[in-house]
Amino acid sequence: MSDNSENPKSILICGESGAGKSASLMGIKDRKDVLYLNCENGKPLPFKNNFKRKTITDPEDIIDYLEQLIEMQDEGEGQPFNFVVIDTLSFLMDMYETEHVLGARDTQKMWGQYGQFYPRLMSLSAKLDAFFIFLGHLDAFLDENEGLMKYSVPVKGALAKKGLEARFTTVIYVRKMTIKDILKGVGGTPSSLLNITPREEAKGFKHVFLTDTDKHTMGGRIRTPMGMFNEDELYIDNDVQPVLKRLIEYYAEEDE
């Protein structure tokens, strides 16, 4: 494990509002081994599912849940979840500010604790034998010095310098794109991970995952393990299931 607590068994899926972040979880909707931690005031997912759902009202509750699961795991009892979803990381950090920083007597101290909450969360995720799926909102801003649109998951304080993305080995963007631009980006021939339905063809657009930067996201922080996706897999279905499968296979081969 690296010194900044990167967890290879984790993925950050981020995009702007309406891009298809939540819809990307549909591929695992029937699984009963998914712990879904809702940080958006209990906002329901747009599809029926078998997830074990918990609504988070205090970020420290997530720390408590993970510590309990790790204790069960370490004591040999096992723990019931193979996947943990945190939706969204952006709202979780905003919630920490609201619940613990704003209005505190010693705001300087609490901003320090805000800065340590995220490393604590990522450290615990690396200890639990489960795959973590984080969803995050993207902010876009113009870097006037470089003349380039840049994208990042918003965060405050010292964490903003490196960015929340720095602790992930896999960061994928989800975007709504025209079918024309998608096909142009993959040389006109979709890969097996990109399926354009007749309905999407008729609408003229599709929600896709970006596994690498394209001309529209050069200022973004997309990253995937080297060689995990082929060049023709720049755009793939916004379905987390095949991505998880590819990640698990990739690291299984690395461990052999």
Q: How many residues does the chain have?
A: 256
* Residue 242, burial from CB neighbour count under 10 angstroms (0-12, 13-18, 19+): middle
Angle between helices 89-96 and 107-127 (to 10 degrees): 140
Per-residue pLDDT of 76-108, as tens digits, reads 888 999 999 999 999 999 999 999 999 999 999
Angle between helices 89-96 and 59-74 (to 10 degrees): 110
Rounded Cα distance between 99 and 93, Å, is 10
Determine what percent of the chain is predicted with pLDDT higher than 70: 95
Per-residue pLDDT of 53-77, as tens digits, reads 999 999 999 999 999 999 999 998 8
Please say if the pLDDT value at position 47 is more than 50: yes
- Provide the 10 A C-beta neighbour count for residue 160: 13
Q: What is the pLDDT of residue 4?
A: 45
- Provide the 10 A C-beta neighbour count for residue 9: 18
Give the predicted TM-score (pTM) of the model.
Answer: 0.93
Q: What is the pLDDT of residue 90?
A: 94
